[in-house]
Amino acid sequence: MTGRGLLDGVPLVDHHCHGVVGVALDRDRFELLVTESARPAPAGCTGFDSQIGFAIRRWCAPVIGLEPHASADDYLAQRARLGVGEVNRRLLGATGVAEFLVDSGYQTDDMLGPAEMADAAGARAAEVVRLEAVAERVALNGTGAGDFATAYAEALDVSAADAAGLKSIIAYRYGLDIPPERPSALEVRDAAGRWLRQVDGTGAARLADPVLLRHVLWVGVDRGLPIQFHVGFGDSDLTLDRCDPARMTDFLRAVQPRDIAIMLLHCYPFHRQAGYLAQVFPNVYMDVGLAVNYVGARAAAVIGESLELAPFHKVLYSSDAFGLPELHYLGAALFRRAFDEVVGGWIAAGLWSAPDAERVARMVGAGNAERVYGVRR
């Protein structure tokens, strides 16, 4: 191999990410955005003392004009001097991402939407619509139990008219061990009645009813778009052992005749199970997006494991970056470096040819997403 990286010159497609914050951040809020915990580090400690914190100081610092390994204090001071707009432009623009597929289901007023993300990065962006978020909007806008199914279907059609794909967070709201069959119309009506009465009583809508979660999922299947599933670790709102994708096996069997692309996101620490599912089900795909940032210097180990069982046309790149442009940049930078380390080692050992490695790099970095989502350069 030469000094040229396998993914050099490959404009990535980040097939799952979120927006970035468009306002200045104090240290406390910045640190909460580099952990999946909802709570700050203990007194006298810092979230920078982590793999992701070290990775930010090593790889993001030069992009904003500092030496590698700049201190956390210096990093945050430089970030403040540049201003949020300039920081967003530098870090998003340096990702080498040609298109962001943005999950807009958890969007705050101070976050950039897909179009603003595209402008800041000098790239393109498309939306991924979260199924549960559409149902919650329907509930808050007012509907009766008997009308819920129709109102939801119509609202999803409108929301997903220009979407690249759909997403389910059933892993957070219930778990992946769902009964595989579509619920009956009567079950949906009764469950909607219970939920809507609760919404009317509290003024808040959080869809967690397992019948309705299955219903909105199957309505999503009917739309024919790729459906992303949160899999594996995330914030403290989930129960990790119920986020193992092997628990989805019966659902995957049920949906297979529909030929819908099922996208397993993040997957860590269940990425080997996800690789197995991607091998045995022709419509199942996977990534290790969220994990790559959080494991930092160990990214090559996770990338290597993601390439063990899954066919290479089933593995995609994503960052799952949320809130901070640092996470979008790190996702891309660590992915490129880890892929080179792993696959370059196989080339050096005579296990892979360089042309095969370059072809797989293009598939994983962009080609698979372009094919599955219909993204075009």
Say whether both 184 and 313 belong to one domain.
yes
Contact 192, 136 (CB under 8 A): no
Say whether both 274 and 141 belong to one domain.
yes
Cα torsion 319, 54, 36, 47: sign: negative
Which is nearest to 292 in space by CA: 9, 11, 12? 12
Say whether both 107 and 61 belong to one domain.
no
Structural domain of 44: 25-82
Instruction: Please tell me the total count of domains within the chain.
Output: 2
Say whether both 64 and 150 belong to one domain.
no
Going by their DSSP bridges, the two strands 12-17 and 262-266 should be labelled as unpaired
State which of 82, 104, 121 marks the end of a domain: 82
First to last CA, the chain: 28
Q: In angstroms, what is the C-alpha Rg of the chain?
A: 21
pLDDT value, residue 334: 98
Element containing residue 312 per DSSP (H, E): none
Residue 99 domain-assigned (yes or no): yes
Say whether both 55 and 184 belong to one domain.
no
State which of 34, 57, 82 marks the end of a domain: 82
Say whether both 213 and 340 belong to one domain.
yes
Which is nearest to 360 in space by CA: 343, 337, 346? 343
Alpha-carbon gap, residue 82 to 89, rounded angstroms: 11
Residue 45 domain-assigned (yes or no): yes
Residue 190 domain-assigned (yes or no): yes
Concatenating the DSSP letter of every residue in 319-376 gives ----B-HHHHHHHHHHHHHHHHHHHHHHHHTTSS-HHHHHHHHHIIIIIHHHHHH---
Say whether both 78 and 154 belong to one domain.
no
Residue 301 domain-assigned (yes or no): yes
Say whether both 226 and 311 belong to one domain.
yes
CB atoms under 10 Å from CB of 150, counted, come to 10
Output DSSP code: residue 58: I
**pLDDT tens digits, the chain, 377 residues: what are they?**
345 799 998 999 999 999 999 999 999 999 999 999 989 999 999 999 999 999 999 999 999 999 999 999 999 999 999 999 999 999 999 999 999 999 988 877 899 999 999 999 999 999 999 999 999 999 999 999 999 999 999 999 999 999 999 999 999 999 999 999 999 999 999 999 999 999 987 878 899 999 999 999 999 999 999 999 999 999 989 999 999 999 999 999 999 999 899 999 999 999 999 999 999 999 999 999 999 999 999 999 999 999 999 999 999 999 999 999 999 999 999 999 999 999 999 999 999 999 999 999 999 999 999 999 997 65
Residue 5 domain-assigned (yes or no): no
Concatenating the DSSP letter of every residue in 119-132 gives HHHTSEEEEEEEHH
Residue 6 domain-assigned (yes or no): no
Say whether both 135 and 123 belong to one domain.
yes
CA distances from 188 to 112, 118, 133, 150, 176 (A): 35, 38, 17, 11, 19
Alpha-carbon gap, residue 239 to 155, rounded angstroms: 30
Contact 137, 44 (CB under 8 A): no
Report the phi/psi class of residue 356: left, alpha or beta, with left for phi > 0 and alpha for psi in -120 to 50.
alpha
pTM of the model: 0.95
Contact 247, 176 (CB under 8 A): yes
pLDDT per residue as tens digits for the range 185-222: 999 999 999 999 999 878 788 999 999 999 999 999 99
Contact 136, 203 (CB under 8 A): no
Contact 174, 137 (CB under 8 A): no
Residue 249 domain-assigned (yes or no): yes
The SS3 assignment for 199 reads: helix
Cα torsion 106, 15, 328, 96: sign: negative
CATH number for 288: 3.20.20.140
Output DSSP code: residue 71: -
Q: Which residues of 220-239 are buried (b: 16+ CB within 10 A; e: fewer)?
A: bbebebbbbbbbbbbeeebe
Say whether both 63 and 115 belong to one domain.
no
Say whether both 217 and 75 belong to one domain.
no
The SS3 assignment for 293 reads: helix
Residue 90 domain-assigned (yes or no): no
Say whether both 353 and 220 belong to one domain.
yes
